[in-house]
Amino acid sequence: MLVVVCPGQGSQTPGFLEPWLQNPEYAEHLRTMSQQSSTDLISAGTVGDADAIRDTAVAQPLIVAAGLLTLDALFADGRRAAIGGIAGHSVGEITAAAGAGVLSTADALTFVGERGRAMKAAAALVPTGMSAVLGGDEAELLARLTELGLQPANFNGGGQIVVAGELTALAALAADPPAKTRIVPLQVAGAFHTRYMLPAVEHLAEVAGTLSPLDPTLPLWTNRDGTLVSDGSGFLDLLVGQVSSPVRWDLCMQAFAEAGVTGIIEVAPAGALVGLAKRALRGIPSVAIKTPDDLPAAFDLIDQQA
């Protein structure tokens, strides 16, 4: 079974859309998606520096648009029928929702544009951030987080948990970390997937009410607990709540294994999720589509799985 995965915030790099824009069809598609998301995606993905594309209001539509562009190329010529399922990490769940047929491209881009702007506004209320914690004992880490008023934001599997909260508490964690852990501060603008994002949840619930979700036509796993979701409206509700809830990517990968995954393809801007899979799903062949030059390898993997 071949699974397509869609990355989240932090996967973008300066200029990563340049190779895609060499194709006039892709360039025109990106212009349309810029209008739908109210974001200048072409400028952000070509000349935007690291700070510019780290901006939450820019990064989120940029990542989803790149994923949607990749999905269109990947699923062309009947290849979608060979895909066994799809899932996304954090904002990548919006990409996955479109790939599974839950949201139209226009609705996905409207939603992610509003999501990015709402989360940026929520992050501006209190100085917060995120850090990756590598290694150590999970129970010990969670107890330490409770002491400091921090929250686990992403359970990424492979011994990696991203934690979030106020900057002073993150500094205290780094100064006195749990045994056998390594703390890596992340260059993000706020404590995503925690209680600090509740103002964004309220806004996105209103936005969701204007959309028209359909039931998925591909197996679709949720970040909430790694289970399959068959109801489109229910998945849209999960997308809203996900903004202030932990991402359980570890459980998604566990679900892939239980479903019998035999191959993984990550859409642009790819690399992070394939890296996690190599540690948690050892031996499973994978392809990370970073540029159009990677598409033939993905097509070959699909053909091998057919």
Query: Whole-angstrom Cα distance, residue 235 to residue 93?
Result: 9
Other beta carbons within 10 angstroms of residue 202's beta carbon come to 14
Query: Whole-angstrom Cα distance, residue 66 to residue 17?
Result: 8
The two three-digit tokens of residue 146, written as one number: 């409770």
**Active-site hit among 29, 89, 193, 203:** 193
> Does the active-site annotation cover 193?
yes
E strands present in the chain: 2-6, 85-88, 128-135, 151-157, 160-166, 181-185, 247-248, 263-266, 286-288
**Active-site hit among 34, 37, 90, 244:** 90
- Which amino acid does the sequence have at 173? L
Q: Give the closest residue to 234 by CA, choosing from 226, 243, 222.
A: 222
* Catalytic residue ranges: 90, 193
